[in-house]
Amino acid sequence: MGASLRFEAIRDPQDLWCIWDNETDKPAEFAQMALVGLTEHEARTAIAILNSLYERLRIATRKNSAA
């Protein structure tokens, strides 16, 4: 895995959470909806899923380009 993760959770002033996309430098989106206003549990679950999927896609892309 790289030095930093693509997605991270950031707490806002209202004690809700946002999933930040470090590649696009804006809130992450899923199904055309920004991932903002989440509970801490929702945010932690989302970043675990998103970072896992992103890493799998990155590895698969690397394998396909090497073939």
pLDDT tens-digit series, residues 13-54: 999 999 999 999 999 999 999 999 999 999 999 999 999 999
pLDDT at position 17: 98
Backbone angles phi, psi at 27, to 5 degrees: -60, 140
- Number of structural domains in the chain: 1
On average, the pLDDT of the chain sits at 92
Contact between 4 and 25 under an 8 Å Cβ cutoff? The reply is no
49 found inside a domain: yes
2 found inside a domain: no
pLDDT at position 2: 46
> For residue 58, what are its two tokens?
């990155």
User: How much is the pTM?
Assistant: 0.81
Q: Tell me the three state secondary structure of residue 26.
A: strand
Conformational region of residue 20, where left means phi above 0, alpha means psi within -120 to 50, and beta covers everything else: beta
Question: H/E element holding 55?
Answer: helix 40-66
| Domain span holding position 18 | 7-66
